Amino acid sequence: MRLHTASEGISYAKSLEQDSKAFYEFLEETFLEHADLFREFAMRNEKNWRDTQRAYYGVISDAIEGAYSFDLAPEEYALEIDTSNCRSLLEAVNVAIRAEEVIVEFYEEAAQQSHGLLADVPRVFRQMSKKHRKRIPELEALG
């Protein structure tokens, strides 16, 4: 399966944000000494999704939706989050960093592919990429 329409791309972005949010909520409960940081990341994931959805609904029309904005294979951007591999903070941080890298890759590719048909959505995707990229050094500092 490949993602082609704007709706499919936005829906996949939502699933990435929700999966990442759930993982950070798990880390918040598991590593209490860093609960504040993980809670903040989870809350940002929720905000990221709202911002992306708002941009999408602000510009979408039937004409655009009928067009193909993407050619993305979701399996290339699957978050491989296995909480059983998070027995230590270092293991959890490594899983989180890889997840952030995958999310960044998705947003950057989706922004690139959709820039010709959509205006606000690629801009928000680039912003989301930057936000997720900024998390990586914060996570590395924990490990």
CB 84 within 8 A of CB 8: no
Map out the domains of the chain with their CATH numbers.
6-142 (1.20.1260.10)
Residue indicated by tokens 């950070």: 24
Average pLDDT, the chain: 88
pLDDT in tens, 59-113: 665 445 545 678 899 999 999 899 998 999 999 999 999 999 999 999 999 999 8
Residue 7 has pLDDT above 70, yes or no: yes
pTM: 0.85
Query: Which pLDDT does position 62 carry in this prediction?
Result: 46
> What value does the mean pLDDT take over residues 44-57?
82
Residue type, 132: H
> Is residue 12 within a helix (H) or strand (E), and if so which, with residue range?
helix 6-30
Q: Which of 99, 81, 112, 96 is nearest to 9 (CA)?
A: 112
